[in-house]
Amino acid sequence: MWDRNQMAARAALELQDGWYVNLGIGIPTLVSNYIPKGIEVTLQSENGMLGMGPFPISGQEDPDLINAGKQTITELPQTAYFDSAQSFGMIRGGKIAMAILGAMEVSQEGDLANWMIPGKLVKGMGGAMDLVAGVGRVVVVMDHTSKHGESKLLTACTLPLTGKAVVDRIITNLGVLDVIEGGLKLLELADGVTEAELRAATQAHIVN
């Protein structure tokens, strides 16, 4: 089974040279620490930053430099800053090649629920709805099951949707699955995980 860092490292393998990429809150933020050698990607943040650097070393944080999840980050020599209108213009205009996002639920149709749980405090939905509608490819990185052991890969989402049929690939602590016609296709198993274990933890239909 993969831990958070191993999931982020696997997600980093999805990056392609020259891409502009948006990393969501949670595990996806760790992807910036695992960008493969020889791959140049430009990380974009909804709050108006293009060209985010790695996370700062403890004690060297700049409180004025934060990502959309309010985490302190670093800048690069080529970093550009702009307002939210320009940032969302990039997202809605299809300029961002891929978004790597967290999720609470994903359906076998590629529906994504990642912005609220009814009855619980919601800080805001951020840029997720715009991202899933505007970027070329959406990869979800999340735990396969909830804290209560219930599958987060479902035949149909139960939570309010962020977008319908928007997810292309799902990377969990148990493995990697693609959303295809008819359900999910198992591509890869995490270290030490059997196919039977992954299937038992998946409510959604696996086609292969």
**Alpha-carbon span 72 to 156, nearest angstrom:** 36
SS3 14: coil
Burial (0-12, 13-18, 19+ Cβ within 10 Å), 34: middle
**46 an active-site residue?**
yes
Among residues 14, 46, 105, 109, the one annotated as catalytic is 46
Asked if 168 and 178 count as a contact pair (C-beta separation under 8 A), the reply is yes
Instruction: Give, as one character, the DSSP assignment of residue 191.
Output: T
Q: How open is the CA angle 179-144-204, to the nearest 5 degrees?
A: 45
Whose CA is closest to 82, among 52, 47, 51?
47
Catalytic residues: 46
